[in-house]
Amino acid sequence: MTRYSAWNVIKNGLTGQKGWDRAWRDPEPKESYDVIIVGAGGHGLATAYYLAKEHGIRNVAILEKGYLGGGNVGRNTTIVRSNYMLPGNTEFYEFSVKLWEQLSHELNYNVMFSQRGQIVLFHSPAARDAAAKRANTMRMNGIDAEMLSRDQVRERVPHLDFSDRARFPIQGAILQKRAGTARHDAVAWGYARAADSLGVDIIQNCEVTGVLREGGRVTGVETTRGVIKANKVGLAVAGNTSRLTAMAGLGRMPIETHKLQAFVSEPLKPLLDYVVAYALPGGHFYISQSDKGGMVFGGDLDMYNSYAQRGNLPIYEDVAGCAVALMPCLKRVRLLRQWAGVMDMSMDGTPIISKTPVDGLYLNAGWCYGGFKATPASGWCFAATIARDAPHELNALFTLDRFERGLQIDEKGVGPTPKLH
Ligand X SMILES: Cc1cc2nc3c(=O)[nH]c(=O)nc-3n(C[C@H](O)[C@H](O)[C@H](O)COP(=O)(O)OP(=O)(O)OC[C@H]3O[C@@H](n4cnc5c(N)ncnc54)[C@H](O)[C@@H]3O)c2cc1C
Q: Interface residues with ligand X (CB under 6 A)?
A: 38-44, 63-66, 70-73, 75-79, 207-208, 236-238, 240, 244, 260-262, 298, 341, 367, 369-373
Cβ nearer to ligand X, comparing 64 with 91: 64
Helices 184-197 and 42-55: crossing angle in degrees, nearest 10, is 30
Least Å from the CB of residue 208 to ligand X: 4
d(CA 199, CA 201): 6
Angle subtended at Cα 199 by Cα 380 and Cα 373, rounded to the nearest 5 degrees: 25
* Distance of alpha carbon 264 from alpha carbon 294, whole angstroms: 6
Give residue 410's region: left, alpha or beta (phi > 0; psi -120 to 50): beta
Is the Cβ of residue 111 or residue 244 nearer to ligand X in the bound state?
244
Q: What is the secondary structure of 351-364 as a DSSP string?
A: -EEEE-SSBTEEEE
Q: Is the CA virtual torsion 411, 83, 146, 166 positive or negative?
A: negative
| Smallest gap from residue 73 Cβ to ligand X (A) | 3
Min CB(274)–ligand X separation in Å? 14
Q: How far apart are CA 343 and CA 370, in angstroms?
A: 9
Nearer to ligand X, 10 or 303 (CB): 303
β-strand partners of 341:
260
* C-beta of 153 vs 182, nearer to ligand X: 182
SS3 71: coil
- Please report how close the Cβ of residue 70 comes to ligand X at its closest, in angstroms: 5
Q: Taking the complex as a whole, how short is the minimal distance between the CB of residue 239 and ligand X, in angstroms?
A: 6
Closest approach, Cβ 311 to ligand X, in A, equals 9
Nearer to ligand X, 41 or 391 (CB): 41
- What's the min distance (Å) between Cβ of 29 and ligand X? 12
CB of 259 to ligand X, least distance (A): 7
* 244 or 325: CB nearest ligand X: 244
DSSP string, 10-56: HHHHHTTT-SPPPSS--PPPPSEEEEEEE--SHHHHHHHHHHHHHH-
Contact between residue 37 and residue 59 where contact means Cβ atoms under 8 Å apart: no
Q: Is the Cβ of residue 283 or residue 370 nearer to ligand X in the bound state?
A: 370
Which residues on neighbouring strands pair with residue 222, listed in sequence order? 210, 227
Contact by Cβ (8 Å): 116, 177: no
Determine the residue with CB nearest ligand X. 41
Work out how close the CB of 412 gets to ligand X at its nearest, in angstroms, rounded to a whole number.
15
Show the DSSP H helices in 225-348 as ranges.
241-247, 313-326
- The phi and psi torsions of 248 (rounded to 5 degrees) equal -85, 0
Alpha helices in 56-168 (DSSP H): 89-107, 125-140, 150-156
For residues 45 and 52, which CB has a smaller minimum distance to ligand X in the complex? 45
Between 49 and 372, whose beta carbon lies closer to ligand X?
A: 372
CB 351, min distance to ligand X, A:
9
Could you say which DSSP state residue 183 is in?
-
258 or 402: CB nearest ligand X: 258
What stretch of H or E contains 381?
helix 375-388
